[in-house]
Amino acid sequence: MDTDAVAGMFEQVARLLKPYGDDFPRYARLPETGASREAILGAMERLKAIEQERWKQGLVSGTVYYRDQEHIDFLNRVYALNSSSNPLHPDIWPSTTKFEAEIVAMTAGLLGADRTQDEIVGTVTSGGTESLLLAMKTYRDWGRDTKGITAPEIVAPTTAHVAFDKAADLFGLRLVRVPVGPDFRADVAAMTAAMTPNTVALVGSAPPYPHGLVDPIEELSEVARERGLGFHTDACMGGFILPFAEKLGYSVPAFDFRLPGVTSVSADTHKYGYAAKGTSVLLYRGADLRRYQYFAATDWPGGIYFSPTLAGSRPGGLSAACWAALVSIGEAGYLAAAKRILETAAYIKTAIRANPELEVIGDPLFLIAFRAHGFSIYQLVQAMAERGWRLDGLLGPPAAHFCVTLAHTQPGVAERFSQDLRAAVEYVRQHPDASEGLGPLYGLGASVEMREVAQGMLFWCLDMLYQV
């Protein structure tokens, strides 16, 4: 990669991260006198209008899973009523305890609790990453306590979420990444072969973020069960849509507690559960396993301290809004939403396949990955960006994906996607030197040296976020 390309990427990232210029007030220190509430609200309203434009039009992959303004306003009212609540103090805010217990119970019922004799328990977390971190911390401590494993390992397919890498980094685990099979799903034989006496748990996804294809959870969880190991299903993406897809008659592989080898499941309520960002649910097969997630200190001078998740104080308003979303939508509402999403996704898959240069990877239900032949997929992603769309670029193989949400079920959105995609394909076909945008950044993962360059760029991006 030449220096001009690198410089171009830096400039593009800077524009993406700092798009507002000098049109809005900036504060590098506390103002001598506070700004008026009216001025603050006015600035925030202007920022909101700018930021909502693309996702409300349905031009963004995933990210915001609901669009209905009445639903958003309802959740905002619920949050406002509970904005001071803190689950760390259940004696003061018992209502938040009620909300979280019922969120867990409703999610467990959705994910197979009524089809097993075992007790399914869980906690509410701040999002999918925290759910995965806590699950891996649990298996680390469970493996040490019940098996004497002091150098714990987790076996996961390469497509499993990067939060597992974060868990390994934070909790001293060895994450064994196993290449997926030719169908882009976890390779059961390869994962079995990768296990060692230090393995404490296996992982599968329903579906994984890159390609949207549910792993063979039944086979993998049986391998774990036969060896007395933990098995975690990461259903953060699919937990609140796959059960309804199954009820609508779509073919959905079993992935939840119906399978006796599945010992934990994570499902994000702030995705297809349509709760406010950020909440997720982490479920376990049995209270004994869940207790390895907890933390308690009984000898601190500040008194007895205990918490179920990573955070101490937490925003109880988010739990209240999550509970309100689940209860207000109900099963009929989720079924109707899933029907609209899956029908729109089928249309978009057909639109992609109508371009001979494009190939849909497998047959996903709602998270559609595709690759290009004859030109760079990143050229196409950039050409779509110039038409207002935000697709996600992927690695291994180079591909893009589009996660279909309720925003894309609006009249005309899928048709516009089809038309713009066709025009973008034609453009990159006729312009072999078309820009790849940030695409070259993906190519930096090809070697250890280039990965260090890519990491440096990403750390620079994080630094940029904190510049005033």
Residue 465 pLDDT exceeds 90: no
How many Å from the N-terminal Cα to the C-terminal Cα in the chain?
30
Q: How far apart are CA 295 and CA 88, in angstroms?
A: 12
**Beta strand 399-403 with 367-372: parallel, antiparallel or unpaired?**
antiparallel
Q: Please choose, from the candidates 199, 110, 116, 208, the residue with its C-alpha nearest in 3D space to the C-alpha of residue 159.
A: 208
Residues in the chain: 468
Q: Name the percent of the chain lying above pLDDT 70.
A: 93
Position 24 scores a pLDDT of 75
Query: What's the CA gap between 261 and 280, in Å, rounded?
Result: 22
CA-nearest of 331, 342, 361, 309 to 408 is 342
How far are the Cα atoms of 242, 359, 360 from residue 339, in angstroms, in the given order?
11, 24, 21
By CB atoms closer than 10 A (0-12, 13-18, 19+), residue 91 is: exposed
Tell how far CA 467 is from the center of its chain. 26
Condensed to tens digits (0 to 9), the pLDDT of residues 227-257 reads: 999 999 999 999 999 999 999 999 999 999 9
Is the pLDDT reported for residue 444 higher than 90?
no
Domains of the chain plus CATH, in order, are 3-29+36-66+331-453 (3.90.1150.10), 94-327 (3.40.640.10)
Residue type, 85: S
| pLDDT reading at 54 higher than 80 | no
**Interval 388-435: pLDDT, tens:** 999 999 988 999 999 999 999 999 999 999 999 999 999 999 999 998
Specify the pLDDT at position 276: 95
Query: How far is residue 26's CA from residue 467's CA, in Å, rounded to a whole number?
Result: 10
What's residue 7's pLDDT? 57
pLDDT at 63: 87
Cβ–Cβ under 8 Å, residues 242 and 258: no
pTM exceeding the 0.75 threshold for the entire prediction: yes
Whole-Å CA distances, 303 to 91, 292, 293, 295: 15, 22, 21, 14
Tens of pLDDT, residues 132-176: 999 999 999 999 999 999 999 999 999 999 999 999 999 999 999
H/E stretch holding 293 reads none
What is the rounded CA–CA span in Å between residue 227 and residue 243? 28
- Encode 381-411: b = buried (16+ Cβ within 10 Å), e = exposed: bbbbbeeebebbbbeeebbbbbbbbbbbbee
83-121 pLDDT, tens digit each: 999 999 999 999 999 999 999 999 999 999 999 999 999
- Is the bond into 249 cis (omega within 30 degrees of 0)? no
Give the pLDDT band (50/70/90) at residue 467. Answer: confident
